[in-house]
Structure 1
């Protein structure tokens, strides 16, 4: 029995250590972000008052069965402010439903008003999104390739704000910040926005300003066509082709530019099945890219040690869900193990890792106040959002942890698109959406069981000794609520 106890303590301690080191890396990015505010942007830019400096641009719109948002997407893109003879639009349409015909009709109407827009279709979906992008690149006329997913709505001056930076001939990518048109639709969208806002402020700026590897986010960015080809073109051997190409390009010494001030509105998934498919793809893809790229980063003689450290945690980001799951599950037996006095010193040592929570609290607060502002009212709102966020992501830790594990083990799976709903305001509804999945996964069953498991942990806090032991109570309470929320929301769409 004592061997099992020691094994539990060691694994628990290792999970805590990795989370602590990850928190330190995030704090490093926060410090980089704060320093960036004192550094003026002196980037060279094209002078668009000189027509000869305005380059040719191709806008690629990779779509697949986007019946509810295609009209919105095409109408929005048709209003882009850029000389008409200097840009073309490729609708890379792999659709297999009635949206294929309605999209073709809409494109014909836009062609009649003088827009250079082409409807490119394939008889198969080889390579999924990366395959479509690669196919379009063969005939793309543009020197620069702007990419937007179907749920993105770039502003009219988007190209005017991004393309000028490519006067720097070493610049391979310009990435812009996502914003969210339906942030306040539900608790689920608020949590997603909270997580994405941290990535698109502190993380992207923190990496980019110090020359660490960052990533093109799959949409709302522009590539130099030469950079794509030089880095080996789009490849479909991971579920996150954007992260893959980003690392290959930076290993080829191409520069990346992140523009926090250029905002690109988009729609967040509003149902949990859509969030599940998106999260699974992102987290598994990150692990696949860790396997594919990290050793290349380590072996590169032109990459600094600090950049290698940040690349490690960047590519291992999704594995934190696995650590979180291990930490939560082992915390219940740890509640019983810690009653033995022989482990008292070790337990005191583990308390040091409370600092991880403090660092995450500070990290996310800087993001929150950047978007919502300072003040007591906003700080109180932040406290509630911070704990809600960690409660919900703990509920997703089984689903995302399995995705990360599959990626590390090399298990292949298809690219599952995230369904779009055309949800713009709180009064819009997704009922009747034909792309909704209603089948309950095995993960949902286990999430329900985990909610009961952590309910037992809560009960044990009161009964384990005469006066109780509430050292893990907050963790178990958040895990109970998180897994319960994910279980019930998933079940509601399955009955």
Structure 2
């Protein structure tokens, strides 16, 4: 029986290693494309060409979906009303699903700008059915624009946002575009810095995916959609909590083109509390994994070259890969106890895994710093320490995605909890899932500690680097939880 279990655990371990290897190779390819684009853009900056004349200014509706965002709603409306665009072709709709004082703050701002001649309206509905997706569907029914520019409540778009994005839609096949995102509170703590780097890495990779014409997973804010594209796809789907990703996948499978404009940057805010972060990432993991499995058939039915098909699978199932890393953490204890790693297959598999992790860590951290525009210079030791902490945080994230994947497996698709930004998380009433995730953190920290102890007792040290890193990563989030509770 023990031999059978040993073979089973080894097979699962090697399957994850092979999966991870394919992902790393594909990401490395995209990373090299992004580097080429970066060098080309630097050349273009040093030899600027003439600015083309722009006479393409169709009607645009700016959609601002909000729900209980009293801390940021006023600055959002201010920023939206300061965007430049030809008079008579721009309307702003504040789509308010709030149940607190946010509504009154928004109403005062809307009335203030309406009195100045700005075409702006406050749009409310009778229920929050469908959450953000339902709010957007309701909003576009009230709109008249040929294009929708969408900004979440914590975003601040630049004043020239529309002037730089709308002309791209001269191409009738361009269905939507995504722009860059920066973070105002990036340097508040290591938690916010980690998030900025992780998002920066995603943006840096998206540059390469866009350049190569590969499928990408795009954000639902700081973006522009063509109405004809949204109508053709049937709008946002409330059956998933990542309605933006779902609509993006459907658009790309529907042969609509997308564009990614990195040099147009809207500023946003990150969660500053570990509770808000873990709730957000469980929701993202649940929605992304659900969307991946929901659309996987289209990857094989849709006509595309093999490399593009592999990139599509890599993008759609990157969340599954992250969740499977948590599976490796759980396997570390039985593997350490049952396997001596003297078989050539599992030994080479283990070595390959750690080599791949090192390559992925260096490439990911480099892309993260580039994407997040982190220009601070540090010593090599400090840089390596920060990189290790950055990589260690992916292990708690793997738990959140694992939990989200399990919930998606059991049909929990619509359990939506908005993410409080800034320090608001300290005062928010936390949903039950926060306690469940926190209990999992405690369990995994102790479990990984036990795996290290077994490794020392049996002198089987092969998986100790994984277990020590898990202890470190989960130890960080537990420490932040303790600090957060003390601050309440």
1:447 to 431, 441, 445: 441
**Structure 1 residues 183, 38: closer, same or farther in 2, change over 3 A?**
closer
- After superposition, residues 321-470 of structure 1 pair within 5 angstroms as 321-339=322-340, 341=342, 343=343, 346-368=346-368, 370=370, 371-373=373-375, 377=378, 380-421=381-422, 430=424, 433-434=427-428, 441-465=435-459, 469-470=460-461
* TM-score, L = length of structure 1: 0.90
- After superposition, residues 8-407 of structure 1 pair within 5 angstroms as 8-37=9-38, 47-48=53-54, 50=55, 53-201=56-204, 203-301=205-303, 303-339=304-340, 341=342, 343=343, 346-368=346-368, 370=370, 371-373=373-375, 377=378, 380-407=381-408
Give secondary structure in 2 for the equivalent of 1:85. Answer: coil
Offset, 1:87: 0.7
* TM-score, L = length of structure 2: 0.91
| Distance in 2 separating the partners of 1:335 and 1:45 | 63
| Distance in 1 separating the partners of 2:282 and 2:130 | 18
Give secondary structure in 2 for the equivalent of 1:280. Answer: helix
| Residues 1:477 and 2:477 are matched in the alignment | no
Offset, 1:245: 0.9
Please, which runs of 5 or more residues in structure 2 have no aligned partner?
Answer: none
Q: Quick check: 1:438–1:493 contact (8 Å CA) kept in 2?
A: no
| Distance in 1 separating the partners of 2:58 and 2:394 | 43
| Distance in 2 separating the partners of 1:457 and 1:490 | 23
| Distance in 1 separating the partners of 2:134 and 2:317 | 26
**Structure 1 residues 198, 116: closer, same or farther in 2, change over 3 A?**
same
Offset, 1:406: 2.6
| Distance in 2 separating the partners of 1:269 and 1:288 | 24
Offset, 1:386: 2.0
**Paired residue for 1:426?**
none
| Distance in 1 separating the partners of 2:395 and 2:98 | 35
Give secondary structure in 2 for the equivalent of 1:259. Answer: strand
Q: Quick check: 1:440–1:494 contact (8 Å CA) kept in 2?
A: no
Offset, 1:381: 4.2
Give secondary structure in 2 for the equivalent of 1:372. Answer: coil
Q: What is the Cα-based RMSD across aligned positions, in Å?
A: 2.5
Offset, 1:44: 13
Count of aligned pairs: 478
**Structure 1 residues 27, 378: closer, same or farther in 2, change over 3 A?**
farther
Give secondary structure in 2 for the equivalent of 1:453. Answer: helix
| Distance in 2 separating the partners of 1:312 and 1:243 | 14
Q: Quick check: 1:447–1:483 contact (8 Å CA) kept in 2?
A: yes
**Structure 1 residues 112, 435: closer, same or farther in 2, change over 3 A?**
farther
1:487 to 471, 478, 484: 478
